[in-house]
Chains A and B, each alone.
Chain A
């Protein structure tokens, strides 16, 4: 089991920030003690990654990833032996107002650590994200559900069509701007 700090350090290293070289040397290295051998190396760099990490208001480590990096990150998370997140236990679509996106809750059956990956897209008209169904088979159904309720299109999905609602349903009901004057009960 890895701590959230160790996970952040490891995963952050996969997506180095190319702008990092331009950051002054002094800012990179806040005065750290020499790391004794055998201990887990703690992060000693100021956010060297393109990923955003946070733990705010959640019990798990949160990663926000850009849509174009999503598949690479997910593939690494599953295949890397240290992380080995083989169990996708929750996949939720979320409408954040300006952005649409998906939240992935991942757990490792062997290591027993948990992580939350979020991906957001600003394009509400034609939101496109990569499918992860070939990494975790359970995503095939869950992504269909997200497509049904949020209208997010998953690239490379083998069978992307409405899951619960009928084919001729108009709109995507769980979006915040969805209005259905006939059927929706509003207090």
Chain B
């Protein structure tokens, strides 16, 4: 198109335009400064910090129990897994022996959180490319999970169910029954998702070959999670550094080689099946025992440095603690998956159209508080 315009001696010149911070497709307050030439993107520059709260600075004044509560305000869709990361870091540093029951329940709730997050992503993914029905389908199934979380954890979104040493409360008596109901229900729904969106020709044309990220670039940009695995990077923390009860279950790492938007979509749908399978393997085998081991009221980590990584719905979440032996961390750094994934957006979007950028961003599954922290 550019050539035909040039042939007719019309001049074009790049100009800048703001996408966001109130754009519906940015899923929060993300401002992208686009440099475009007509419809073609020349450069994408994210302007961050609209909801920066300096959580890392707050952590330096808080106790370790309090820090757990801040983590689910970052990636609120993987809140339970973020909580788990801090708890595991503290428990490993204290060399606490955690009961098997706690490990299994943490893994089940973690995988349910992943399903819930992917349900929401699937809904808004469809909406971003123009299919409103998916939004209601995704939220319908997520609602069942939120009810389960509310009953057992006491909250629907920011759960704070994990505490250093175990779980805040034991599971609700209805928990096992309702999870089984959900698994049976959801198994009939994923094929429905496929029929509605995956096999849709318009959807496939919007996503195939769009926003390609090669394997080398994915590693270089530190891209993890479903985005990295769709580019063929074997980066599942659950496989390579298993934590909690993940070493006791069998599941496969969902990999694709294409690295385009459709591959990222497929990886997440495959992960729904894998997470369901993990939940199924564990739900009948929750060991008896304590739901929590006692810790000191004031937790002091021994002097040293601790790093704990977990796999959230978006990728590798890391907690890096430097302790000087006091009740507060000396320095605490959160490695958030969304931040690294966003850094690859410019590379993926350049040369494409604005509509493709929306589809690409939808499969990055950005959660802005996770990036801004």
Is the A/B pair a real complex?
A: yes
User: B172 in the interface, Cβ–Cβ < 8 Å?
Assistant: no
* B219 proximity list for chain A (CB < 8 A): 86-87, 109
Out of B223, B240, B309, B344, name the residue touching A112 (CB < 8 Å).
B240
Question: Which A residues are in CB contact (< 8 Å) with B309?
Answer: 89
CB of B142 to closest CB in A, whole Å:
30
B322 near A94 with CB under 8 A, answer yes
- Interface 9-mer from A35-43, A44-52, A56-64: A56-64
Known A56-B304, A136-B222, A164-B48; contact A89-B322, beta-carbon cutoff 8 A: no
Contact between B49 and A58, CB atoms less than 8 A apart: no
Bound Cα distance from A15 to B327, whole angstroms? 38
B331 touches A92 (CB 8 A): yes
Give chain A residues whose Cβ lies under 8 Å from the Cβ of B344: 137
CB closest residue in chain A, given B237 = A89
Q: Are B54 and A173 in contact (CB under 8 A)?
A: yes
Q: Write the A118-156 contact mask toward B (1 if CB under 8 angstroms, else 0).
A: 000000000000000000111011100100010000000
Q: Chain A: how many interface residues by the 8 Å CB criterion?
A: 36
Complex Cα distance A118/B223, Å?
22
Nearest Cβ on chain A to B36's Cβ, whole angstroms: 19
A57-B302, A58-B306 given; A141·B340 CB < 8 A: yes
Is there a chain A Cβ closer than 8 Å to B221's Cβ?
yes
A80 at the interface (CB under 8 A from B): no
Partner of A95, one of B52, B221, B235, B331: B331
**CB atoms of A137 and B304 under 8 A apart:** no
Q: Chain B residues near A163 (CB, 8 Å)?
A: 48-49
Q: Which residues of A contact B164 (CB under 8 A)?
A: none
* Residues of the B chain whose Cβ atoms lie less than 8 Å from the Cβ of A186: 61
Known A90-B318, A137-B217, A173-B57; 15 more pairs at CB < 8 Å: A57-B302, A57-B305, A86-B219, A88-B222, A89-B222, A94-B322, A137-B344, A138-B220, A141-B342, A141-B343, A142-B339, A145-B339, A164-B48, A164-B372, A166-B49
The chain B residues found within 8 Å of chain A, CB to CB, are 48-49, 52, 54, 56-57, 61, 217, 219-224, 233-235, 240, 302-307, 309, 316, 318, 320, 322, 331, 333, 335, 339-340, 342-344, 347, 372
Interface CB pairs A-B, < 8 A, 22: A57-B302, A57-B303, A57-B304, A58-B306, A62-B305, A87-B219, A87-B235, A89-B316, A89-B335, A90-B333, A109-B234, A116-B305, A137-B220, A137-B347, A138-B223, A138-B343, A149-B56, A163-B49, A164-B49, A164-B372, A165-B49, A174-B331
Interface, chain A (partner B; CB < 8 A): 56-60, 62, 86-90, 92, 94-95, 103, 105, 109, 112, 116, 136-138, 140-142, 145, 149, 163-166, 173-174, 185-187
